């Protein structure tokens, strides 16, 4: 990986991208506008300084690929409510702990005495269920296609070990329906996508064929090191200048044409499409996966009755940031009442959040 973060090569690549962006501008009278779909790309662009250096040459817009950011407030409220009953243990990934719900966060609920545990893998939550047979263990199942196969592994583990006090609150998200919803809305004008590296390992290159076929839109699958990021931008501009929309796999070391077939088979076996609710984007048809009926005993939404009030409205503009409509600086709370130590919205909490990236690496002050 060292070659992809070599400083001389990064600088040379940066100048090459700027030169090509100049050509794009000559042809189109404006800079190219690209969306990086993945939250890890957003963070990598900000941290490497590339976003700042390119701001007059290539417009890079953050997209809806941060799983914590797109998780709707209702799911956090539901988990907090579930955890208030005795004999329950909630498990979650660390980032979700600080995301504010309507009343408070899971972190506050834990401080109030509820048994809420941070795990690194959903499999850890199955082990917790085995160790606590007199308690119900509920895992908050968030994530895109990178994480979803691991959720299915946890279900398989519970099934094989006949662990019946275990369930998942599924609120998973799929990339294709989100990109389709963005493009169908016409709200944000883009020239192309920098496609997520991790998710593409599971999905494969061919899963993006709908972009050129249905929208005439191009995309490049790219890695996360500075030279890889710049290479992705360069190749995307090249495709556009050649006028032939297509998908390029610029991350061939790990991404194949068809993706990880074993992971995809696992998802097909356990899960079915669901009209999932996204923060800021509303309900998108078939944009998530839930457990099939025959695995209902592991589905927390079916196992427990949770009645919820409408989520509390705040001035947080994460919903618009997720859709690429505004930058964090346009939110009046950014770097004032909303900071990483006092986050008002998930985009400031998550290590992949756009507001957190701008706060850490792109603040003018
Ligand atoms: Fe939400 Fe804070 Fe970002 Fe504003 S700065 S959009 S309040 S997370």
| Dist. CA 316 → ligand 1 center (Å) | 5
- The pLDDT of residue 103 is 85
pLDDT average, residue stretch 135-157: 97
User: Whole-model pTM?
Assistant: 0.94
| Dist. CA 217 → ligand 1 center (Å) | 30
Q: Ligand 1 atom 7: the closest Cα is on which residue?
A: 316
pLDDT digits (tens, 9 = 90+) for 276-329: 999 888 999 999 999 999 999 999 999 998 887 777 788 999 999 999 999 999
pLDDT average, residue stretch 212-227: 97
* Mean pLDDT of the chain, nearest integer: 95
pLDDT average, residue stretch 40-46: 95
| Dist. CA 108 → ligand 1 center (Å) | 19
CA distances from 325 to 46, 182, 204, 318 (A): 18, 11, 28, 10
Give ligand 1 pocket residues (Cβ under 6 A). Answer: 316-318, 321, 328, 331, 333-334, 338, 344-345, 347-348, 355
Q: Are 40 and 224 in contact (CB under 8 A)?
A: yes
pLDDT digits (tens, 9 = 90+) for 130-143: 999 999 999 999 99
Q: What CATH number labels 78-174+263-272+284-303?
A: 3.40.50.11740
Query: Do 2-67+189-249 and 78-174+263-272+284-303 share a fold?
Result: yes
CA distances from 197 to 6, 23, 328, 334 (A): 20, 27, 24, 29
| Dist. CA 80 → ligand 1 center (Å) | 22
Rounded CA separation 97/142 (Å): 13
Residues 6+ apart with CB under 8 A from 121: 150, 154
Q: Are 138 and 89 in contact (CB under 8 A)?
A: yes
Asked if the model's pLDDT at residue 1 lies above 80, the reply is no
Cα Rg of the chain, angstroms: 21
- The pLDDT of residue 163 is 98
- The pLDDT of residue 224 is 96
- The pLDDT of residue 10 is 95
CATH level 3 topology of 2-67+189-249: Rossmann fold (3.40.50)
Residue 320 CA: nearest ligand 1 atom is: 6
Residue 349 CA: nearest ligand 1 atom is: 8
Element (H, E) at 24: helix 7-28
Q: What confidence category does residue 50 fall into, taking pLDDT thresholds of 50, 70 and 90? A: very high
Asked if the model's pLDDT at residue 364 lies above 90, the reply is no
Rounded CA separation 39/197 (Å): 11
Rounded CA separation 266/276 (Å): 20
Looking up tokens 């997209």 gives 63
| Dist. CA 123 → ligand 1 center (Å) | 32
Residue 321 CA: nearest ligand 1 atom is: 6
Every domain of the chain and the residues it spans: 2-67+189-249, 78-174+263-272+284-303, 318-361
Rounded CA separation 8/71 (Å): 39
Q: Is 220 helix (H, G, I), strand (E, B) or coil?
A: strand
| Dist. CA 277 → ligand 1 center (Å) | 20
Residues 6+ apart with CB under 8 A from 248: 218, 219, 220, 221, 235, 236, 239
Beta pairing class for 136-143 and 166-172: parallel
| Dist. CA 169 → ligand 1 center (Å) | 25
Rounded CA separation 28/30 (Å): 5
Asked if the model's pLDDT at residue 192 lies above 70, the reply is yes
What is the best residue among 355, 356, 359 to mutate for testing ligand 1's pocket, by most ligand atoms within 8 Å of CB? 355
């Amino acid at each position: 990986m060292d070659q992809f973060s070599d400083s001389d090569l990064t600088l040379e690549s940066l100048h090459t991208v700027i030169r090509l962006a100049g050509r794009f501008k000559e042809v189109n009278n404006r800079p190219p506008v690209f969306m990086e779909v993945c939250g890890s790309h957003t963070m990598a662009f900000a941290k490497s300084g590339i976003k700042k250096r390119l701001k007059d040459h290539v417009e890079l817009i953050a997209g809806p690929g941060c799983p914590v950011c797109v998780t709707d407030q209702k799911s956090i409220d539901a988990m907090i409510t579930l955890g208030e009953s005795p004999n329950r243990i909630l498990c979650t990934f660390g980032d979700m702990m600080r995301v504010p719900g309507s009343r408070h966060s899971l972190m506050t609920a834990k401080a109030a005495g509820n048994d809420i545990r941070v795990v690194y893998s959903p499999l850890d939550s199955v082990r917790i269920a085995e160790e606590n047979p007199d308690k119900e263990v509920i895992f908050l199942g968030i994530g895109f296609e990178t994480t979803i196969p691991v959720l299915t592994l946890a279900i398989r583990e519970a099934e094989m070990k006949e662990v019946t006090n275990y369930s998942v609150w599924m609120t998973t998200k799929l990339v294709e329906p989100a990109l389709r919803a963005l493009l169908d809305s016409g709200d944000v004008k883009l020239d192309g996508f920098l496609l997520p590296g991790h998710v593409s390992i599971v999905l494969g290159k061919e899963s993006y064929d709908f972009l050129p076929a249905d929208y005439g839109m191009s995309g490049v699958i790219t890695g996360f090191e500075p030279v890889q990021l710049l290479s992705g931008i360069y190749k995307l501009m090249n495709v556009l200048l050649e006028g032939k929309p297509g998908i390029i796999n610029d991350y061939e070391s790990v991404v194949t044409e068809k993706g990880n077939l074993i992971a995809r088979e696992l998802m097909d076996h356990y899960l079915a499409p669901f009209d999932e609710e996204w923060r800021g984007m509303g309900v998108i048809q078939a944009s998530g996966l839930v457990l099939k009926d025959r695995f209902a005993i592991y589905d927390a939404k079916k196992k427990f009755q949770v009645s919820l009030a409408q989520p509390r409205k705040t001035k947080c503009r994460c919903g618009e940031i997720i859709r690429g409509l505004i930058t964090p600086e346009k939110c009046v709370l950014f770097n004032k009442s909303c900071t990483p130590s006092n986050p008002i919205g998930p985009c400031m909490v998550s290590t992949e959040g756009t507001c957190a990236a701008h706060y850490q690496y792109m603040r003018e002050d």
